[in-house]
Structures are given as C-alpha cells and as structure tokens.
C-alpha cells in the first residue's frame, strides 16, 4: 500500500529557529528552488515518518501576514491557496510576545495550526516560564516544546502534526482575536450583507476576507473584485462605508485600530501564561555583544574573523586541493597513455580535463569558505557584522542592512543582488546593487588561489584577504560618489534585530555549506564544461598553420647534432649532452606550441586585446582568460589552464608556464585587482537587469566596473614599477 501524503508548512519569525528545525526534519532530502513567479528561495523536503509521506515546506521568515514584503505575500498565499494539512508556527519561546502576532494572524486564516515553542532552553536561562497547557487552552490549539539546535522535541512535533492533520476539528469555531464591539458589529453586518446576496463568491473564508477588507488589504480587494465581479464592487463599497464609520468612531484608520487590538489580545495572553522568575541572571548574548559590538574593538575583531576565514580557506584547503590535483593529473596521464593520438584525445585531455580539472581542484577551498559563512550566519554573528558596518555604511548614505547583501556577495553575487529587495528605498536598492559586485564571490577565489599560490605562496592568505578588503573599501568609496551625484538622498534609519548567539549544529552547517556548493558543482557540468570546449576549439583551430620556422627540420637537426656528439662521448659527458639535447628539443616544441596558439582563433582575439591589457602587465593569454570570465569567473582559470599549455601534465605545468611567462608578482597582483572589480558574470548581469528593471543601470554597472578595474589595475602595476616592486 502506498503511504498517505501530508503537507506541513513551517512558518515563523526570522531567527526563531525555523530553518534549523526544517534541516533536522529533512536532512539532506531537500529541494531548493524559487517560488513561482518570484526569485525568493523556496525549500521543501519529503520524509517518511510514522507511516506517512510528509512534504515539509519551509515558508520565508516573516513577522506578520500583512502583505508589505514579498516574503509575507508568499507565506500568506501558500497558507491560503495551497491549504497545507497543518501549519507549524515556530515560536521563539524566549520572545513570546513578538512571536504571537504572526500566530494570531495564522489562527484567523482558519487553517490547522500547531505551535512549536522553540528555544525552550534559552527561555529557561532567561528566567522565563511559559504555561503551555494554559496557552493551549486559551488559543485552543496543540503546543509542543522544542529545542531545535539539540534536535529535542522534533519527533513529538511531527507526531502531533500528523494527529492534528487527521483530526476532524472545526477550525472556524476555534478561539481567535475578538475585536471591540464596533469592529465586531461591522464584521457581523458585512457578513449578513454577503449572505443575503447569495450570488457572491469570495476567494477566502468569509470572516477573514471581511477583516482584510476592513484593513484595506489591496491584494484581497483585487481578488474579491476578480472573483465576485460586479457583486465584488458592491462589497468594496459597503466595506468602505464601514471603514469610514470606524475611522469616525476611533479617530484613526481601521487597520491601525485592529492591529492595536491584536496586540491587546496578545498582551492578555502573555499575562495569563508567562511568568518571569525574579533572580539575578547572566544574559550570555548581551555580555558577548559588549565585546563583539564594542565601538572600539568590535570592528578589529570583525576584520580578524574575515582574515582568519581566508587564511583558513587557503591553508587548510591546500591539502585536499593537492590530492585532487594529483588525481586529475593521474587521470589525464592515464588517458594520454590509453587513447591513440586524435583530435578527440586532444579535446578530452587539453580541453575538458585541462579546463574542468583546473577548476574542480578548488572545491575544498569553496567548501571551507561556505562553511565559514554558514558559521557566521548560524551563530548570529552575521547580524552583528551588519550592525558594526552601520556607521561605515552611513558614510555612503546607506545603513547596515545594506551590508547583508554585500556579505552574501562573498558567496555568490546573484543571490546577493536579489537580497537587496529587502531594502525599502529604491535608491538604496540601486546603490547597493551597483556596489555589491565589488565583493569577491566564490567564483573569483580559484583565480586568487592560483596566482597567490604561485607568486605569493608564503603570504597567500594575507594577500587574498587584502584583495577582499580592497573590494569593500572601493565599494564604500564608489557608494559615497554615487550618493553625492547619481543617487542623492537622505540616510535611511536602521533598526536591526540582533538574535541571541547560538551554538550551531554541525548537521545544519554542513547542509548550508552543501546547498551553496552544489551551485559550484553544477557549473562544472554546465557552463564551465561548455566554456572549456569552446576555448579549446578556438585555440586548436585552424589546424593548418604556416609556421615562421621549420620546427621539424630544426628538431631533427638538433637531435642529429647531439647524437653525433653523444656517440663520441662517455660517462658523465654523455649524460650531460643527452640532457642538453632534450632541453633543446623541448624548447623547440614549446616555441612551436606557442606559435600555434598565437595563430589560432583564440590567439588572434588575444592579440587584438593585447594593447588594452599591456599597460596592466597582462599578456594576450591573460587578456583572453579575462574576456571569458564574463560568462563565469571560474572559466578564467580553465582558460589559463588551456592557453598556458597546462593540458598535457596538469596544474604543475600551469605553475611552471606562469613562472616562465612574462607574468611577475606585480602583474599577477594587477590581474587579481582587475578580476576583483571588472564586469560581473553573465548571470549577475541578468539579475541586475531583473532587479533594477533598467537596461540603463545594467549597462552603467558593466561600464563603470570595467573602467574602474582597468584604472585600479593600471595604478597597481605602473605604481609598483615606479617604487621598484616586481
């Protein structure tokens, strides 16, 4: 027999532990995408428990169901339109009063609601005691205590959810907010008006629809008009009369009055169910914040954490990176010995393996970086970072909330640009979008690791940190410039919640790390593979090249010359001559490959670009690699792996080729600065167009970023030459 399927939605305030509970329930059995029609992350997972197939939906964190933001609209529409079997409201037990506002709104939708009083341990340490039985009695719904980060109470929560889903309780008659006499009277009269007109069809339950219309909910008004047609206009007119009547009675808008009465209802519940034990207690989070958000030492600590993250990413990642590098090298050599010489073999070894293989070795570094970012988020430190940056962000007319997308940009610029939609001001959104690409995303990290590992090996972690920090500084300078010219406006006020510090669960950290890293792996089989094949094709053709020298004749001449000398030599002289012969032949082979590469289609493109990049100390091969980075920044490394003749012997050859090329530590530094700042990848450009809704701002972002990149790299290279740095 097939299992019965139930849909359970998880709702709750931000920082209530909702995602932790979702991860505990679903583990790695998660599917992450976007909600239909909007680019807001959607998480769902399917698990089999107690004879049921449970589809768990993680709704966006929200403080209410009033449709002021995309998250609130998504959460409300899912509850109302999809009608999940049960909605579990994850409530922060240590902040019950704030959490109950969303809870009362969920109750008014007439869905089956179950409360999970999460973080019960934190509530206890704060001396807070909640009478769950009394709360359950007052609201007439089941309640379960949970401690999400310790996986306590989760099984009981699922059992209670299944029990509630299978029960036949009538949710419409259960206890909800009871408004004042005047409001309830208006609700009653509007209900009678609707019932008398039997032809009226409402999109939602009658009482809830009336309450939303009295609150002047624009979305509900539109849906009533769509659903009820001409009768809908009659309802809206009748509702407007009652809104005017209530405004006259209370001397305020009805939505404000009803919100106040909800809070009054919540205040009454709090008095009944919550007691605070009077004792001297230590608030650990507050004491930690005395240090981490201190105006004098908080920022240096933040800088140290970021430095440590990149130092760890490089130093710890070097070992598994070497193992992967060795494996890719062994695989390439094995195929070289197994396959006969052909165009396909050249494509496979010098195109696919050289391109994709040169990128996949950086997977350990990417995993470590994302693990550190997940650690900042799950401990609650990410909010403190935004708080610390608030004063600095005000220098450019933004607030600390704008720093959250910038921090997300360390992972990937696409979700970082999307995250700007949480900002209320359009000018703030555009300004944040324009400076977010200056944050070094994870796709740029392999480029930094290659160049710093070769030219700055002893101080690689510090150099990478300086590159990242330079991006932040230039973002601030750019923001100040734009706020003073293109996007003038007053500073926005900033109030940001600082959630309590929590000990993160290893399981949750790994899930967050893996979710982000999957995007990197998907690129391996997608855009990077295609890009590597295209680059190989452009560098391998045309096949018939007219060389400037007869390399075959010169090689035979060198071999004949040395063979004659070797025939008359003995002992050490013979070995010395053989080494000189092999070196001379290898030099001719390299010269032939270099000329072939220069006369290929890719070489012609590079020679055309060379004059633009020559003042930056970047040769034609580096310029082509940078050009391909528009598709995806990871392709820069795979292009270098192909163009610098690394295809035959793996990454070691890339290191040798770069060291033997014209590239110096100074030109490598200039190239990293250019990579830091120049135009975003194709996916980010498309997202900027989508979020700004303007080709003008998109083209401006591309032009400004690339121009600034060239100027900054020019200053680094030419300035370095002047002071004698090489």
pLDDT in tens, 661-674: 788 899 999 999 99
pLDDT exceeds cutoff 70 at 491: no
For the beta carbon of residue 78, count every other beta carbon within 10 angstroms: 20
Residue 678: the pLDDT is 92
Kindly give, in sequence order, each residue whose CB lies less than 8 Å from that of residue 342, ignoring residues fewer than 6 positions away: none
Q: How far apart are CA 604 and CA 624, in angstroms?
A: 10
The CA-based angle 362-364-367, given to 5 degrees, is 110
User: What average pLDDT does the segment 581-587 reach?
Assistant: 83
Q: How far apart are CA 277 and CA 676, in angstroms?
A: 54
pLDDT exceeds cutoff 50 at 173: yes
pLDDT band for position 649 (cuts 50, 70, 90): very low
User: What average pLDDT does the segment 296-302 reach?
Assistant: 87
Residue 281: the pLDDT is 46
Instruction: Take residue 199 and report the two structure tokens written for it.
Output: 């032809």
Three-state DSSP class for residue 55 = strand
User: What average pLDDT does the segment 447-452 reach?
Assistant: 89
Q: How far apart are CA 651 and CA 633, in angstroms?
A: 18
Kindly give, in sequence order, each residue whose CB lies less than 8 Å from that of residue 472, ignoring residues fewer than 6 positions away: 406, 438, 439
Taking phi over 0 as left and psi of -120 to 50 as alpha, with beta for the rest, 152 belongs to beta
Bridge partners of residue 403, in order along the sequence? none
User: What average pLDDT does the segment 541-570 reach?
Assistant: 84
Residue 691: the pLDDT is 83
Q: How far apart are CA 543 and CA 565, in angstroms?
A: 36
Instruction: Take residue 292 and report the two structure tokens written for it.
Output: 């981490």
Most confident option among 161-175, 539-553, 687-701: 687-701
Q: How far apart are CA 141 and CA 91, in angstroms?
A: 14
Of the candidate ranges 41-50, 192-201, 222-231, 486-495, the one whose mean pLDDT is the lowest? 486-495
User: What average pLDDT does the segment 582-608 reach?
Assistant: 81
pLDDT exceeds cutoff 60 at 651: no
Q: How far apart are CA 384 and CA 403, in angstroms?
A: 11
Share of the chain above pLDDT 90, in %: 10
pLDDT exceeds cutoff 90 at 615: yes
pLDDT exceeds cutoff 70 at 20: yes
Three-state DSSP class for residue 241 = helix
Residue 704: the pLDDT is 94
User: What average pLDDT does the segment 393-402 reach?
Assistant: 72
For the beta carbon of residue 207, count every other beta carbon within 10 angstroms: 16
User: What average pLDDT does the segment 672-679 reach?
Assistant: 93
C-beta of residue 698 within 8 angstroms of C-beta of residue 688: yes
DSSP 182-204: HHHHHHHHHHHHHHHSTT---SS
pLDDT exceeds cutoff 60 at 175: no
pLDDT exceeds cutoff 80 at 94: yes
Residue 283: the pLDDT is 62
User: What average pLDDT does the segment 212-231 reach?
Assistant: 82
Instruction: Take residue 461 and report the two structure tokens written for it.
Output: 């972690």
Three-state DSSP class for residue 35 = coil
* Pairing, β 113-118 against β 143-145: parallel
Q: How far apart are CA 600 and CA 174, in angstroms?
A: 76
pLDDT band for position 648 (cuts 50, 70, 90): very low
Share of the chain above pLDDT 70, in %: 90
pLDDT exceeds cutoff 90 at 346: no
Closest CA to 148 of 378, 315, 348: 378
Whole-angstrom Cα Rg for the chain: 32
Closest CA to 356 of 191, 528, 103: 528
The helix (H) or strand (E) run that includes residue 49 is strand 41-49
pLDDT in tens, 311-341: 888 788 878 878 887 888 788 888 888 888 7
- Residue 345: burial class (beta carbons within 10 Å; 0-12, 13-18, 19+): middle
Q: How far apart are CA 667 and CA 540, in angstroms?
A: 27
Kindly give the residue spans of alpha helices, DSSP state H, lying in 343-425.
343-346, 354-360, 363-379, 381-393, 403-408, 413-418
**Residue-averaged pLDDT of the chain:** 81
C-beta of residue 690 within 8 angstroms of C-beta of residue 648: no
* Higher per-residue confidence, 410 vs 698: 698
Crossing angle for the helix pair 18-26 and 154-166, nearest 10 degrees?
90
User: What average pLDDT does the segment 660-688 reach?
Assistant: 88
Kindly give, in sequence order, each residue whose CB lies less than 8 Å from that of residue 437, ignoring residues fewer than 6 positions away: 409, 413, 680, 684, 701, 705
Most confident option among 359-368, 575-584, 706-715: 706-715
Calculate the dihedral angle through the C-alpha atoms of 482, 487, 491, 493, rounding to the nearest 10 degrees.
-120
pLDDT band for position 39 (cuts 50, 70, 90): very low
Any idea which residue has 């009653």 for tokens? Answer: 188
Any idea which residue has 């990290």 for tokens? Answer: 445
């Amino acid at each position: 027999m097939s299992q019965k399927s139930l849909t359970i939605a998880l709702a709750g305030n931000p920082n209530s532990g909702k995602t932790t509970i979702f991860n505990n329930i679903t583990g790695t059995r998660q599917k992450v995408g976007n909600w239909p029609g909007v680019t807001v992350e959607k998480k769902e997972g399917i698990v089999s428990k107690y004879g049921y197939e449970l589809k768990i939906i993680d709704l966006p964190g929200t403080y209410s169901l009033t449709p002021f933001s995309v998250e609130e609209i998504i959460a409300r529409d899912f509850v109302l339109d999809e009608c999940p079997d049960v909605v579990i409201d994850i409530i922060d037990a240590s902040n019950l009063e704030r959490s109950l506002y969303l809870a009362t709104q969920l109750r008014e939708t007439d869905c089956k609601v179950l409360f999970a009083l999460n973080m019960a341990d934190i509530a206890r340490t704060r001396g807070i005691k909640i009478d769950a039985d009394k709360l359950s009695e007052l609201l007439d719904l089941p309640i379960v205590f949970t401690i999400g980060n310790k996986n306590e109470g989760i099984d009981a929560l699922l059992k209670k959810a299944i029990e509630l889903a299978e029960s036949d309780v009538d949710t419409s008659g259960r206890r909800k907010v009871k408004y004042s006499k005047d409001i309830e009277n208006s609700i009653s009269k509007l209900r009678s008006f609707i019932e008398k007109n039997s032809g009226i069809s409402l999109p939602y339950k009658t009482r809830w629809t009336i309450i939303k219309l009295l609150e002047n909910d624009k979305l509900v008004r539109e849906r009533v008009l769509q659903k009820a047609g001409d009768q809908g206009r009659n309802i809206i007119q009748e509702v407007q009369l009652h809104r005017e009547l209530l405004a006259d009675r209370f001397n305020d808008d009805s939505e404000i009055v009803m919100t106040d009465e909800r809070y009054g209802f919540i205040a009454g519940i709090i008095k009944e169910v919550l007691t605070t034990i009077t004792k001297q207690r230590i608030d650990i989070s507050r004491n930690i914040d005395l240090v981490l958000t201190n105006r004098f030492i908080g920022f240096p600590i933040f800088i140290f954490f970021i430095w440590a993250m990149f130092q760890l990413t490089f130093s710890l990642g070097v070992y598994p990176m070497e193992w992967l590098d060795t494996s890719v090298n062994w695989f390439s050599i094995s195929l070289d010995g197994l396959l006969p010489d052909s165009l396909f073999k050249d494509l496979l070894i010098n195109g696919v393996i050289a391109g994709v293989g040169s990128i996949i070795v950086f997977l350990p570094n990417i995993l470590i970086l994302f693990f550190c970012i997940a650690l900042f988020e799950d401990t609650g430190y990410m909010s403190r970072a935004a708080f610390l940056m608030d004063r600095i962000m005000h220098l450019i007319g933004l607030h600390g909330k704008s720093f959250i997308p910038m921090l997300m940009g360390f992972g990937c610029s696409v979700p970082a640009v999307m995250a700007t939609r949480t900002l209320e001001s359009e000018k703030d959104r555009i300004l944040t979008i324009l400076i977010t690409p200056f944050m070094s995303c994870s796709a740029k990290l392999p480029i930094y690791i290659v160049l710093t590992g070769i030219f700055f090996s002893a101080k690689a972690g510090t150099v990478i940190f300086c590159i990242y920090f330079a991006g932040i500084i230039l973002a601030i300078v750019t923001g100040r410039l734009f706020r003073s010219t293109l996007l003038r406006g007053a500073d926005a006020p900033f109030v940001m919640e600082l959630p309590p510090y929590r000990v993160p669960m290893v399981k949750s950290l790994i899930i967050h790390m893996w979710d982000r890293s999957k995007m990197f792996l998907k690129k391996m089989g997608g855009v990077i593979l295609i890009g590597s094949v295209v680059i190989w094709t452009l560098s391998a053709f045309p096949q018939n090249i007219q060389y400037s020298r007869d390399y075959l004749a010169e090689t035979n001449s060198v071999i004949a010359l040395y063979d004659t000398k070797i025939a008359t030599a003995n002992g050490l002289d013979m070995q010395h001559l053989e080494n000189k012969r092999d070196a001379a032949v290898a030099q001719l082979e390299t010269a032939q490959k270099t000329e072939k590469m220069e006369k290929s289609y890719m070489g012609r493109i590079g020679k055309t670009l060379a004059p633009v990049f020559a003042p930056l100390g970047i040769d034609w091969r580096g310029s082509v690699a940078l050009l391909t980075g528009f598709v995806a920044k990871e392709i820069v490394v795979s292009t270098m792996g192909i163009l610098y003749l690394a295809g035959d012997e793996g990454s070691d050859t890339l290191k040798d080729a770069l060291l033997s090329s014209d590239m110096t530590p100074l030109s490598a530094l200039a190239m990293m600065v250019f990579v830091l700042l120049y135009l975003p990848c194709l996916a980010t450009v498309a997202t900027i167009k989508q979020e700004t809704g303007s080709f003008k701002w998109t083209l401006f972002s591309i032009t400004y970023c690339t121009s600034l990149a060239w100027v900054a790299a020019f200053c680094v290279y030419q300035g370095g030459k002047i002071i004698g740095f090489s």
